[in-house]
Amino acid sequence: TSALTGESVPRRVREGDEVISGCVNGSGLLRVEVTKEFDDSTVARILELVENASSKKAPVENFITRFARYYTPAVVIAAVFLAILPPLFFGQTWSEGIRRACTFLVISCPCALVISVPMSFFSGIGAASKKGVLVKGSNYLEALAKVHTVVFDKTGTLTKGEFKVTGIYPSVPADQAAAGEKITETAGVWSSSQLDLLELAALAESCSDHPVSRSIRDAWGRSVEHTRITDAKEIPGHGICVKVDGRTVLAGNDRLMKQENIAYKPCPAVGTVVYLAEEGSFLGAILISDVIKEGISEAIRDLKRAGAARTVMLTGDRRETGEAVAKEIGLDEVHAELLPGDKVDMVEKLLTECKGKLVFVGDGINDAPVLSRADVGIAMGSMGSDAAIEAADIVLMDDDPRKIAAVVRISRKTLGIVMQNIIFALGVKFIVLIMGAFGAANMWGAVFADVGVSVIAILNAMRALKG
């Protein structure tokens, strides 16, 4: 259900349970009765949320359009006055009046602005694309420069969305092994007690095709000797009971340990925990959870250095899991157990509190409405759903959140270059316009104020290509 709810752990369903449209059956055979029309299905409601959210997003109006609305009529009227009033009231010849008016119009032509401002944004978009980031429009690049709050989805965005063994906790005396020591994929060599516990778990789970069982077997990474296993019996909702080398082994959740009256030590870590016992004695626990992507903590730090004042996580996963991930990577706050509609409501609330622009980063179908509603929506392009990519304004082609801070820096550099071009073009034109009005600037000065300023502004705009 991760694409729809964000819950990383596969969910078991039994007769009478509700199955939402869009989820994927991991194992076994399901016979599902359709109880709702398509328009009332989960996927249809999400698409409706996307449409409604998109209609609320105000487009960023282009500066040139706003400026030209007043600038063009003003300079044309000024040129007419310059051609008529001096000959009528100050004794100037009509030919001189018309010459000054024409010079005035050439100087006032907004070529530098019309060409250099869009070109600056195109250069910024090109710089982002060289880093593997697709920006769908210059207005999104402009909005990204004013980022204040960055909101993340969890599964598939901050985490890999993969179910793996992330910790092994043998229950052995401290002088024999590092009891309770968490191991990770990159931890290197595991202790002998950890390997023994993992091997026993792999043997016990070898008869099951559940995602938890597959994760344990993948972590063991060796072929299982099925001749050592007999009398395998699955206990629904609890785990499995099996004989390994003639000894009874239990592998399951804490309910199984309680049911069999086995004194066990609860695992302190957050995730799916498989407890193991042999002949009534507790052996330890194996933690299985979603793996945080490499460099996420670095990405969050870079974002804050780039100017993001607030980082938030929204997830449909359990609160304990969400809070553990947020704490590990350094997020400011987390909101868990949210449905797609709840995410939109939460973003609406965050938008009212945001002092700048709000950016949302997600990858699933359930993130599509929020990607549409945020000021800037960023989707994962490699593993993200088609709905998320379609709804997003910016797409990370390699799913690396570290690229977000780089694009923020590109957007700010681009906006800085745009402001430089606007100030430079208007400043030079204003000075030469005054000179032209009083006859101090000839047509050569007018050509420089038009074409020369345009060339300089274009060269400056090209700096944005370097990122």
CB-CB neighbours of 201 under 10 Å? 27
Collapsed DSSP state (helix, strand, coil) of residue 249: strand
Q: Is 153 a catalytic residue?
A: yes
Kindly list the strands in the beta sheet with 247-252, ordered across the sheet, starting from the edge strand earlier in the chain: 159-170, 281-292, 272-278, 247-252, 239-244, 229-235
The span from the CA of 209 to the CA of 197, in Å, is 20
Number of C-beta neighbours around residue 132 at 10 A: 16
Which of the residues 17, 39, 153, 398 is marked catalytic? 153
Instruction: Give yes or no for a contact between 273 and 287, defined as CB atoms under 8 angstroms apart.
Output: yes
Q: Tokens at residue 253, please?
A: 């959740």
Quote the tokens at residue 387. 């709905």
In angstroms, the CA 170 to CA 132 distance is: 43
| Residue at token pair 């991991």 | 26
Q: How far apart, in whole angstroms, are the C-alpha atoms of residue 144 and residue 404?
A: 10
Determine contact, residues 234/256, Cβ cutoff 8 Å.
Answer: no
Which residues are designated catalytic? 153
